[in-house]
Amino acid sequence: MGYFVDVTKAGGDAIRAYRKIKRKIKDDKFIENLRDRQYYKKPSEVKREKNKQARITIKRNQAKSNWKDPSKVRQR
């Protein structure tokens, strides 16, 4: 798996090409996978982290759905 950006297609700008490569790597979560696999995690630890992330996501989604719409809030 390699990342390639043609500098001539990116407008000849090396900085723009670097940003594109950086964005591709971030979107691919390549670095995150490397960090996660750097040390062994017990299956129970992986399961615990997965459940924790699920709780955080549910809590975040509930907070978004309970957020009051400014257009529906009664003016005083």
27 in the same domain as 1:
yes
46 in the same domain as 17:
no
User: Which positions ≥6 away from 7 have C-beta within 8 Å?
Assistant: 13, 14, 17
CB 3 within 8 A of CB 25: yes
Q: List pLDDT tens digits, range 20-42.
A: 888 888 888 888 888 888 999 99
* Residue 48 falls inside a structural domain: yes
Instruction: Record the pTM.
Output: 0.51
3 in the same domain as 25:
yes
* Domain span at 28: 1-36
pLDDT of residue 68 exceeding 90, the answer is: no
32 in the same domain as 45:
no
What is the pLDDT at residue 58?
A: 93
What is the pLDDT at residue 64?
A: 81
Tell me what the mean pLDDT of segment 64-75 comes to.
Answer: 66
The pLDDT confidence band at residue 70, using thresholds 50, 70 and 90, is: low
